Amino acid sequence: MDVAFFLMSAGLLFTPGPTNTLLAVGGATSGLRRSWLLPPAELAGYFLAIHLLAFAVGPLVQAPSVQLLSRLGLALYLIWLAAQLWRSHAALLPHQTVTPARVFTVTLLNPKALVFAFVVLPPLAQGWSAALPSLAALAAMIVSASLCWIALGAAIARGRIMDTGWITRAGGGVLALFAILLALSALR
């Protein structure tokens, strides 16, 4: 582990994206206490994705057709999730808007996992035990970043900058934007 590992990991984890959008919306709609299951869901999603990529599908992921299908699949899921968030302000209770299962699924499909698996982390397939210190540090960073995004959402809601209905709609809009950008990048 070195400074580059920490900088790359922090850069990825604190960059706005689909998972971080959900975490912020979860913090805004449910508050800090009700969002306590979201960080473990993100951690599980990243770790499962990283391990599946490193051990099972690493060579397949580099095939252009697989990249295209995975990006389009994620884009479709994000569009569906954006629609759910957009409509949720009236249809669901706030704590049902962002669930651990949704955070897990979005994180599992998050393209950032590819960067973690193939660029940031030492090659897992060459020896899991050698990567253990990096995995432990990454786990701590994932939970820390997750809590920061949840706290940001809670602070926005507490500050009454926006009501929770607008926050869920804004989150839905951001997810839709990510879906469109992802689909466009896949179709290039």
135-148: average pLDDT: 96
pLDDT for residue 109? 85
Query: Above 80 in pLDDT, residue 24?
Result: yes
pTM assigned to the model:
0.74
pLDDT for residue 142? 97
Query: Above 70 in pLDDT, residue 143?
Result: yes
Measure CA of the first residue to CA of the last residue in the chain; give whole Å: 35
73-78: average pLDDT: 76
Within 8 A by CB and 6+ apart from 68, the residues are 186, 187
Q: What is the mean pLDDT of the chain?
A: 80
63-79: average pLDDT: 76
7-11: average pLDDT: 85
Tell which residue, 158, 53, 30, has the closest CA to residue 103.
30
Alpha-carbon torsion, ordered 146, 148, 152, 158, to 10 deg: 100
Residue identified by tokens 């929770």 is: 164
The two tokens of residue 15 are 């960059």
pLDDT for residue 92? 44
Q: Residue 105 belongs to what domain range? A: 3-187
Using pLDDT thresholds of 50, 70 and 90, give the confidence band for residue 184. Answer: confident
Within 8 A by CB and 6+ apart from 67, the residues are 61, 186
Put residue 99 in one of left, alpha, beta given phi > 0 → left and psi -120 to 50 → alpha: beta
Using pLDDT thresholds of 50, 70 and 90, give the confidence band for residue 16. Answer: confident
44-67: average pLDDT: 81
* Number of domains observed in the structure of the chain: 1
